[in-house]
Amino acid sequence: MGFESGSIGETGSHTPPDDRHGNCRRRSYTRAVVPRPSSGRQRRGQKGCRTPANGTFRLTAAGWRRTHTTVAPVDAYARGVWFRAECTSFRRPFFMLAHHDDEIPCAGVLGLMGERARVCWLTNSDGLYFESDLEPAAYGELRKKEGIESVKLAGVAPERTRCLDFSEVEIYRHLAALHSGKMTIGQAGDLFDAMFESVEQAVEWAEPDAVFMQAWQGGHPEHDLSHFLCRLAVERWVEKGNPPPAMFHMPAYEYTVLLAFRFNPLYRGQRIRMKLLPAELDRKLRMISCYPSQQRLFEKFRKVLGALSIPSAMLGRPRTLEQWLSVEEFGPVPEGIDYTASTHFHEFFDYMFEDFEGTPVSFSGSVRPVVLHLLRSYSSRKLKNTAESQ
């Protein structure tokens, strides 16, 4: 067996103990996602759904179940070499991303499967329109065109891409209003329900046997929402009788850009580090050049790395942007992520400096209410479907 992270509808998991959870706080991982409608204890390996006594929800991870006899190496870099061979078995890999340019951190992984891959962006990426002379709609159209050209370099044809076209501006408006109390989740819920339905349709369109999503890490609210919506949609896909796909997550950033494209040092899940070949790094840099609208952000990141070059060298870490981009870190989605809790020990570190027109966007006030709303909606629909089938 290869990487394992549990399977849908099973409490038993073959995941090694140190790979079971990815959040950096130590907490009980009896909560994760799929609502369990009946009561009582569930025996190890028994299929079915139950609601735990504490009323929380559980989403088990869809593991990488293959018939391969090879075993994933212990070293993260050795796993990267191993992954190159193992990923050839994926026939319908699906990449779920929040923004156009979020494919850059995983450009090497995407390029390995480009001709078979499907890519879906949750938003139209209009959030930084104010840094241009364009209105949000026009800026979003520019970003979408840049994204198509970017993934084309990785081998993904335009017809194998999909943009769900949700406005970042509107998402942030709703998240900020939830934080401030200007909107209740009852008022804001329609937007997030529509987002889930669209992601669910995208999963059905892709029919994935492997899913690559952004990590749930508390760095950017739309990255976290993209991850959670994808997890929930895949859960629904499996409930319809489809085989559970392999599931991987890819870190974007947290603590602003001080921790970019890498998991938190306290992350306890399994890491895969894949070193890019020179041609793969060159392609990745060319994909970056497809985003003229984002060059300022890439240059900002280059300057941050430059400022950290001396301590980075002392720690044996990359000193330049090219060195940093030449390694891609990702891993199987851990079982037992608590989506109702922050990934940081203090909320200050969640979505640092993220706001909408001066109103903060937070985990507890913005994203957590959305997560709970979607879980309740999902649970209600699941119970209804169960009743109708009986």
* CATH number (domain holding residue 296): 3.40.50.10320
Dihedral, CA of residue 156, residue 158, residue 164 and residue 166, to nearest 10: 100
Residue 308 lies in a domain: yes
pLDDT per position as a tens digit, 363-387: 999 999 999 999 999 887 776 666 6
Residue 104 confidence class, pLDDT cut points 50, 70, 90: very high
Distances (CA, A) of 35 to 156, 167, 374: 35, 29, 11
Q: Which residue has the tokens 């799929």?
A: 34
Spatial separation of the C-alpha atoms in residues 100 and 150, rounded to whole Å? 9
Least trusted range by pLDDT, from 7-11, 163-167, 295-299:
7-11
Determine the pLDDT at residue 306: 64
Residue 281 lies in a domain: yes
Beta strand extents in the chain (DSSP E only): 93-97, 118-123, 161-166, 210-214, 246-250, 253-254, 259-260, 272-275, 327-332, 355-356, 359-360
Residues in the chain, total:
390
DSSP state for residue 210 in the 8-state scheme: E
**Residue 306 structural domain:** 76-389
Least trusted range by pLDDT, from 54-58, 156-160, 335-339:
54-58
Q: Are 339 and 376 in contact (CB under 8 A)?
A: no
In 3D space, the residue among 368, 363, 334, 333 whose CA is nearest the CA of residue 350 turns out to be: 363
Residue percentage of the chain with pLDDT more than 90: 57
Distances (CA, A) of 72 to 119, 229, 271: 26, 28, 11
Residue 2 lies in a domain: no
Residue 80 lies in a domain: yes
Residue 22 lies in a domain: no
Which amino acid, one-letter code, is at 162? R
Cα angle: 272, vertex 242, 31; to 5 degrees = 60
Residue 54 lies in a domain: no
Residue 29 lies in a domain: no
Q: Which residue has the tokens 């950033």?
A: 253
pLDDT per position as a tens digit, 226-257: 999 999 999 999 999 999 999 999 998 777 76
Residue 185 lies in a domain: yes
Determine the pLDDT at residue 101: 94
pLDDT per position as a tens digit, 285-323: 999 999 987 777 777 666 666 665 555 454 456 667 788
In 3D space, the residue among 384, 283, 291 whose CA is nearest the CA of residue 328 turns out to be: 283
Question: How many domains are there within the chain?
Answer: 1
Pairing of strands 355-356, 118-123: unpaired
Distances (CA, A) of 156 to 46, 250, 288, 291: 40, 19, 15, 17
Mean pLDDT (whole number) for 267-293? 93
Q: Are 147 and 98 in contact (CB under 8 A)?
A: no
Kindly report the pTM of this predicted structure. 0.80
For 67, residues 6+ apart whose C-beta sits below 8 A from its C-beta are none
